[in-house]
Structure 1
Amino acid sequence: MNRLIIWCVACSILLVGTVFNATAETDLTSQQLKKWCAKPNQEQRCYLMHKQLADDGRAESAYWVGKVIARGVYQPADLEKAADYYKVASDSLHPSASRELGLLYYHGVYGEREFRKAQKMFEQAMQNGNSEGMWALARMYHYGRGVEQSYQKAFELFSLAAEQGSKPAANTLAYYYRVGLGTEVNPRLASYWQSKANAKGLVTWNRSIPDYR
């Protein structure tokens, strides 16, 4: 009996140690990346470090590399290649990667515009707390792209996204209150949300991806 207890305790210690070491290694990697990427004239090295980690499956690095490729920082922009990296990060439920991948599906990065896949990615981003994913999903309902057009559903999603800090959502929500889309006209709330949208630090989209309809 005593041997069994000792064995269980030993296993518990080993498990905790393994988790601790994995966490420490992740923290160390993040610190190293932050250190190198903050240095002047080290952009290329920073990119190569992130790319190696992305190829090993690190979600944050895959998202980072996807953005760099989508923006054409070191070579002409390649949205299909960027989508491949976004997929790696999205498979690990990286919310921003899910949002960006959803936008690429929406725009038809592989040829046809894939609204169902876009909706799935926006919903995944939303479920993981990404307010811009909510905003993108709300736009689908606003325009009726791949879903049944519904100002009421769009209003609900714009409201959630705006409450979580999305400036574009706040701007659209102000318009909804101003003209009465999906809700009653309310000049006071229209003014309130417009002031939120006009605040400094306005969130902007990846400029390689145009605003969509």
Structure 2
Amino acid sequence: MGEKDLFKLTLACLLALIGWVNPGLAADVADCCKQLYKNGEYEQAFPVCCEASEQGDSHAQFILGKMYYFGKGVQQDYAKAVKWYLKAAEQGYAKAQNILGWMYNFGKGVQQDDTEAVKWYLKAADQGYAKAQCNLGWMYNFGKGVQQDYAKAVKWFCKAAEQGNANAQYGLAVMYARGKGVQQDDTEAVKWYLQAAEQGNAKAQFNLAVMYARGKGVLQSGEAAADWYYKAGLSYLKEGKKDDALRCVERIKDLKTALHLSVPNAFLADKLLPKLSD
């Protein structure tokens, strides 16, 4: 957005705040809040979003919660983030319900409470929100805030996975690989690992490499295994997980020395190793 357009938007928002809006300049206060936040104009967005939130706009309340959570345009305050996430969640805003569940899940700005986390995850999941469905799957998988139930974990992972959620695709693959809540099926596990791996999920990339190395659910291939270990290593480095990346280097080397596989791309280990010190 150019300076002229930004000036017009800011002016329109100021006019909206005092109740004098020129229809040719902008929409209402809530729209100004959303646009300023989207443009990264956090200090300008904060008072506008506060006004829109007080007026009851759920999207603005969600944005205000994010501003407090990340400290954008205002001092970071998890408790206030929870306050605004809750207001939006109570209006049925799925994204807010999911993040509120996460806040309870990890005790951010509120006392840690897995049962309350499940409550909010479920509300968002029932609306079809994939991230919440995935989170709910993990809660059932580990028995956190709810009785452990692998079949229900699979149910929710599947719903989210079919929407393209990489973390859920990984979770569903694990369930098939281990035969938890579903009949054990390496081929199906590979299918879901691959979908998550192609989206850059490091754990899925690593596990897919393992499947190729062992020939489980797929034709055994040292070359394919090395390729996925390398990709997993790069993904782990992006996440700052150097120990996991180093494990990928060691696994590539083991393909030839321990598993005695043909690995024409074994050089990927040497290519990945220097990146650990970058």
Of the candidates 215, 218, 228, which is equivalent to residue 183 of structure 1?
Answer: 218
Q: Does 1:161 align with 2:166?
A: no
TM value normalised by structure 1 = 0.77
Q: Is 1:92 aligned to 2:127, yes or no?
A: yes
Name the Cα RMSD after superposition: 2.5
CA shift digits 1:15-48 (9 cap, x unpaired):
xxxxx98x94994615544444423243221221
CA distance in 2, matches of 1:24, 1:111: 39
- Structure 2 counterpart of 1:42, one-letter code: D
Displacement of 1:143 in angstroms is 0.6
Q: Where does residue 106 of structure 2 map in the other structure?
A: 71
Secondary structure of residue in 2 paired with 1:145: coil
Asked if residue 46 in structure 1 is aligned to residue 81 in structure 2, the reply is: yes
**Which SS does the other structure have where 1:181 is aligned?**
coil
Matched-pair contact (CA < 8 Å) for 2:140–2:153: yes
- Find the counterpart in structure 1 of residue 91 from structure 2: 56
2:219 counterpart of 1:201 = no
Task: Describe the shift of the 1:185–1:202 C-alpha distance in structure 2 as closer, same or farther (beyond 3 A).
Answer: farther
Query: Once the two structures are superposed, what CA deviation does each residue of 1:71-101 show, in whole Å capped at 9, x if it has no partner?
Result: 1223442111100010111122111110010
Structure 2: distance between partners of 1:42 and 1:108? 30
CA deviation profile, 1:117-145 (whole Å, cap 9, x unmatched): 21111011112210110110111111101
Deviates more, 1:185-194 or 1:110-119: 110-119
| Structure 2 CA distance for partners of 1:40 and 1:111, relative to 1, 3 Å | closer
Give the structure, 1 or 2, with the largest relative contact order (CA under 8 Å, sep 6 or more): 1
* Unaligned segments of structure 2, at least 5 residues: 1-26, 35-58, 242-278
* Conserved? CA contact 2:106–2:112, under 8 Å: yes
- State the alpha-carbon separation in 1 of the partners of residues 124 and 192 from structure 2: 24
**Residue 118 of structure 2 aligns with which residue?**
83
In structure 1, list runs of 5 or more residues that go unmatched.
Answer: 1-19, 205-213
Cα gap change, 1:120/1:58 in structure 2, threshold over 3 Å: closer, same or farther?
Answer: same
Q: Which amino acid aligns with 1:201?
A: K
Taking structure 2 as the reference length, the TM-score comes to 0.60
| Contact 1:141 1:151 survives alignment (8 Å) | yes
Change (3 A) 1:33 1:74: closer
Aligned length: 184
AA aligned to 1:143 is: R
Name which one, 1 or 2, has greater alpha-carbon Rg.
2
Over the matched positions of the two proteins, sequence identity in percent amounts to 26
